[in-house]
């Protein structure tokens, strides 16, 4: 399973809406495995979406289990759709596709997400806190939305990263 190359802004694929997965066939399952391998190869990485590898298909991987926070472990979803949001919080976010910046972004505190797991089975996950933020961030990638699109002000809420990942 190869570690995939990450595209960075302003690559045009980062602004495109990804296509729905019709079924989790071997091609999609292989991409899911490659995304997991890529996530694990990047220290500190907690989420990745297929468009960040220039694959315009609705697949995300999130794993915040290395952090001390409530989580579902490794989350691998095709066609993730957030069906419920609760609460609000503003927190700092970074992105592999915008490696030199972080920003203050408003997100829901708790979400419920539906999608297909790596076996093509329909699942529903409840996420809160940091995991909820990571899932929302990755689902945004599937719609061509970057965290800089969610800040109140580019001038006051986006900062140059002071250290590399």
| Catalytically annotated residues | 138
Starting at the edge strand found earlier in the chain, the sheet holding 158-160 runs 89-95, 98-107, 158-160
Nearest to 21 by CA among 81, 80, 79, 82: 79
Query: CA angle 72-138-152, nearest 5°?
Result: 120
Three-class SS state of 53: helix
């Amino acid at each position: 399973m190869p570690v995939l190359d990450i595209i960075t802004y302003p690559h045009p694929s980062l602004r495109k809406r990804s296509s729905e997965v019709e079924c989790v066939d071997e091609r999609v399952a292989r991409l899911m495995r490659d995304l997991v391998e890529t996530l694990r190869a990047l220290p500190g990485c907690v989420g990745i979406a297929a468009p960040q590898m220039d694959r315009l298909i609705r697949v995300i991987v999130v794993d915040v289990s290395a952090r001390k926070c409530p989580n579902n472990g490794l989350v691998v979803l095709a066609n993730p759709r957030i069906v419920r949001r609760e609460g609000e919080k503003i927190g700092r976010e970074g992105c592999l596709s915008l490696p030199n910046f972080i920003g203050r972004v408003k997100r829901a505190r708790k979400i419920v997400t539906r999608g297909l797991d790596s076996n093509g089975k329909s699942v529903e996950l409840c996420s809160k806190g940091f995991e909820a933020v990571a899932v929302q961030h990755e689902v945004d990638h599937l719609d061509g939305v970057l965290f800089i699109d969610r800040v109140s002000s580019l001038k006051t809420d986006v900062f140059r990263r002071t250290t590399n990942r």
